[in-house]
Amino acid sequence: GESVGLHLPTLSVQEGDNSIINCAYSNSASDYFIWYKQESGKGPQFIIDIRSNMDKRQGQRVTVLLNKTVKHLSLQIAATQPGDSAVYFCAALRQDSSYKLIFGSGTRLLVRP
C-alpha cells in the first residue's frame, strides 16, 4: 500500500539556523504533496503545497523541494524561530483519487534558544 515516511522523528536546531525536514513517499503515482505544522494541542495547519509538475516552491521563509526520481521531498525553514517549534507532517495524494491524503508520521522540530 501507499506510505509516507519522515526520516527523523526529532530535529533540534539553533534559533536563527535553517531547518530541513525530509520526507519520502512510496507511490510513484502520487502527484500532490502538502506540508502541515501541528502545534501542541492543536489541529494541523497548512504550510505549503507542491504539485508533481514542479520541483520547488517557495513561501514565506519556507521552501519545499520535490525529487520525483527518488520520491523524496523536503521542507526548508529559513532563520528558524522559537514559534516554529512543532510537529511537521508531509502528506501525499494522487489527484485522481482526490480525497485521500496519506500522512507521514511527523518530525518534531525543537528550536534551541
Partner 1 sequence: NAGVTQTPKFRVLKTGQSMTLLCAQDMNHEYMYWYRQDPGMGLRLIHYSVGEGTTAKGEVPDGYNVSRLKKQNFLLGLESAAPSQTSVYFCASSYKLAGEYSYEQYFGPGTRLTVT
Which residues make up the interface to partner 1 (CB under 8 A)? 4, 9, 32, 34, 36, 41-46, 49, 89, 91, 93, 95, 98-106
In the bound complex, what is the minimum distance in angstroms from residue 17's beta carbon to partner 1? Answer: 26
- Residue 16 or 32: the one with the smaller Cβ distance to partner 1 is 32
* Nearest by Cα to 19 from 32, 29, 10: 10
In the bound complex, what is the minimum distance in angstroms from residue 49's beta carbon to partner 1? Answer: 7
In the bound complex, what is the minimum distance in angstroms from residue 51's beta carbon to partner 1? Answer: 9
Q: To the nearest 10°, report the CA torsion of 49, 52, 58, 64.
A: 80
- Residue 86 or 89: the one with the smaller Cβ distance to partner 1 is 89
Question: Strand pairing partners for 88?
Answer: 37, 107
CA angle (90 as vertex; 21, 67 as ends), nearest 5? 70
| Pairing mode of beta strands 86-93, 72-77 | unpaired
In the bound complex, what is the minimum distance in angstroms from residue 22's beta carbon to partner 1? Answer: 15
- Residue 25 or 111: the one with the smaller Cβ distance to partner 1 is 25
Q: SS3 of 97, please?
A: helix
